Amino acid sequence: MWPPWVNTTRSSGAACRSPSFSSPTLKDLHALLDDDPGKPPPSHALRRILHRACLASTALRALRSAASAPSSDPLDRRRRGVFVLYFTSLRVVRRTFEDCRSVRSILRGLRVAVDERDLSMDPRFLAELQAALDCPQPTLPQVFLAGRCLGGADEIHGLHESGELKALIDGLAPAASACDRCGGVRFVLCAVCSGSHKRYSDKGGDFRACDECNENGLVRCPDCLTSAV
């Protein structure tokens, strides 16, 4: 089926059998391609066929471009076979911390690639989670797979106990070995500002916030990101 933005209509059987429809000839094709203004215009039937052919070609090019374009959705990890885990490593709320730790332990026990996003390390992960769940105050932890939210601690524990979680990992990428660069923290100091989150501006003659890192002067470990893709 054509996408809705392609304004084409399917001709009915009666219209196809109408005696007013004339098949295009080679002479009509030459007349259409000829730039001589003195030549008679091509038949209406040929113009209609070529118009539909142009629409089809445009639609196919658009579909091909959409299929090859990289996704901007941070949760779209289906091709890479990666769980996405939003959690916190802070012990401010004991129940939340324990839930996050238990879910991390379950996912790591599956020995599959997990993209761990610690909200305490980078507050920008909160905005991602809020947009994904359409909720201003989401609870932690939250686990996603193939862009779909599997749920929090209770749901993951239930899937794990029933064996459904293990069935979901069939064909997923295996977990990478321990990272020598960050030691498993998943973040490293920003190389641009050396972790100060301040950069000197030659134009203004003052220090400004670094655009390369978060407010803690950290960036995600590039080695961990590479192994998770």
Whether residue 158 is found in the same domain as residue 207? no
In a shared domain, residues 114 and 148: yes
Burial class of residue 147 in the structure, from the number of CB atoms within 10 Å of its CB (0-12 exposed, 13-18 middle, 19+ buried): middle
Domains contained in the chain, number:
2
161 lies in some domain: yes
Flag whether 8 is in a domain: no
Q: What is the pTM of this model?
A: 0.56
121 has pLDDT over 70: yes
120 to 14, 36, 89, 91: CA distances (angstroms):
67, 72, 6, 10
Q: Which domain holds residue 116?
A: 74-169
75 pLDDT more than 80: no
* pLDDT score of 78 more than 50: no
Residues 195 and 151 in one domain: no
8, 55 in Cβ contact below 8 A?
A: yes
CATH code for the domain in which residue 103 is found? 3.40.30.10
Quote the CA–CA distance of 77 and 146 in Å, as a whole number. Answer: 5
pLDDT at 19 over 80: no
Most confident of 7-21, 167-181, 206-220: 206-220
* Separation between Cα atoms, residue 50 and residue 52, nearest integer Å: 5
Residues 6+ apart with CB under 8 A from 34: none
Q: Give the pLDDT confidence score for residue 161 in this predicted structure.
A: 94
Residue 177 is assigned to a structural domain of this protein: no
